[in-house]
Amino acid sequence: MAKLHLFLAVLSLCSILSCPGAYSATFTLVNQCGYTVWPGLLSGAGTPPLPTTGFALQPGESNSVPVPPSWSGRLWGRTLCSTDATGRFTCVTGDCGSGTTECSGAGGVPPVTLAEFTLNGAGGMDFYDVSLVDGYNLPMLLAPRGGTGGNCTVTGCAAQINGGCPSELRVNRDGGGGEVVACKSACLALGDPRFCCSGAYATPAMCKPTSFSEYFKSSCPRAYSYAYDDGTSTFTCASADYVVTFCPTPTSSQKQGQLSASVSLVTNGSGKPSQFHALLAAVVAVGLWFI
């Protein structure tokens, strides 16, 4: 009987803490914005679901999500969210249409900055990127932690680019001439096959960078700027965990796609920085030199 109780206790602990073999990685999402961000998470077709598909992150907070083996999918940040008198939850940017903080299998409505993953893919490698192909709504940094193999490169878009967004691509908070809260892709804004890499432009040979995609690329050299921007925008690692930081904190102006930065410690909910968060600060600070 004692052995049975011990087995049940261990089984229960595994369900809470994720025993080895149950998950292949951990995503730690960190909010360094001066406002609340509501991350959304979407699993790819045929991929095991995550334990959550959306939640709130207050400024300075972090949250870790265990990820199943061979998972593929995407995550993003929703902003300017609220709940109306009927209890329906909506966001000005990145809304997934579920009416709740959980996205429940729905993706974010563009324009939105995306982190994309395929874990344990070809050759056992993780493939990851930050994409602006669907536009941009907030800065995001993606940093592998503890990985082996591949290049394990920090990537993302640390720049605040809404303010300089071309007028044709701007999304204003009030729908008029107010605050710019997101920047559309040219495909979304204009629908031209040249910008969408569709129709006669549906091959790498025919679909080339445009002045609009170059705006995103010049601001964020390692992020996807259009559909065939693979060569400079997809990265690999193996056996890594990943830290996704919203609004990594720059302290100086951008020059030639590089930022120098200092990153304040975020807390683990107790109000005190943990060893992990001290490591995170170092990872992000180093990573921003290369974005």
pLDDT of residue 157: 96
The whole-angstrom separation of Cα 215 and Cα 42 is 27
pLDDT at 91 over 70: yes
- 265-286 pLDDT, tens digit each: 343 443 334 444 444 444 444 4
The mean per-residue pLDDT over the stretch 203-221 comes to 94
Higher pLDDT, 253 or 84: 84
Give the pLDDT confidence score for residue 271 in this predicted structure.
37
Partner residues linked to 41 by β-bridges:
75
**Residue 189 to residue 170: CA distance in whole angstroms:** 9
What is the rounded (10 degree) CA torsion for 141, 268, 277, 149?
-60
DSSP state letter for 50: P
Please report which confidence band the pLDDT of residue 16 belongs to, taking 50, 70 and 90 as the band edges: very low
Q: What is the mean pLDDT of residues 187-193?
A: 95
**Mean pLDDT for the stretch of residues 136-144:** 98
Q: What is the pLDDT of residue 76?
A: 98
Residue whose C-alpha is closest to residue 233's, from 249, 246, 220, 250: 220
- Residues 281/45, Cβ–Cβ less than 8 Å: no
State which amino acid sits at residue 20: P
**Spatial separation of the C-alpha atoms in residues 291 and 286, rounded to whole Å:** 10
Identify the pLDDT of residue 23: 64
Average pLDDT, rounded, for the chain: 83
Judge whether residue 215 has pLDDT over 80: yes
Residues in the chain: 291
Does the CA dihedral 215-132-220-266 come out positive or negative?
A: positive
Question: Which of residues 104 and 14 earns the better pLDDT score?
Answer: 104
